[in-house]
Amino acid sequence: MALKQISHIADNELMDECIDNCSEASQACEWCADECIGMGEEMARCIRLCRDVADLTSMHARFMSRNSGYSSDLAEICAEACEECADECEQHEHEHCQVCADKLRDCADSCREMASA
């Protein structure tokens, strides 16, 4: 949950929601990547994408917290990466992949809203 004491977040419901979705997506991706390790070569792309997206979403949440001028550019990149990773995760029946895909779809939606705001 985003800090309500940060005035530019408290006054911006879209940003507050996007920070929360980015944080949840980052956690889900870290969990998914960790669970996929040791499951075979067919999970390599899932692991790589999840690790990339975990870093991107975490960075985007930090950029929004500091009210960075690069946040809207990063939001678009984040949305694209989340969608690509969700597409990959949805191909696997594992619970962690399915949870991750759901969180990534939410994150992509809120990042797209932030990019166009």
Q: What is the per-residue pLDDT across 23-47, written as a single tens digit (0 to 9) for each?
A: 999 999 999 999 999 898 999 999 9
State the pLDDT confidence band at 12, using cuts at 50, 70 and 90: low
Structural domain span for residue 15: 11-116
Within a domain: 59: yes
Please state, rounded to an integer, the average pLDDT across all residues of the chain.
90
Within a domain: 66: yes
Task: Name the residue type at position 9.
Answer: I
Within a domain: 1: no
CATH number at residue 71: 1.20.1270.360
Within a domain: 6: no
Within a domain: 23: yes
Within a domain: 51: yes
- When pLDDT is averaged across residues 82-100 and rounded to a whole number, the result is 97
Alpha-helical segments (H) within the chain: 7-10, 13-36, 44-65, 71-89, 95-116
Q: Of 109, 35, 112, 43, give the one whose Cα is nearest residue 75.
A: 112
Percent of the chain with pLDDT over 90: 72
Within a domain: 107: yes
Within a domain: 2: no
Q: How many domains does the chain have?
A: 1
Task: Name the residue type at position 101.
Answer: A
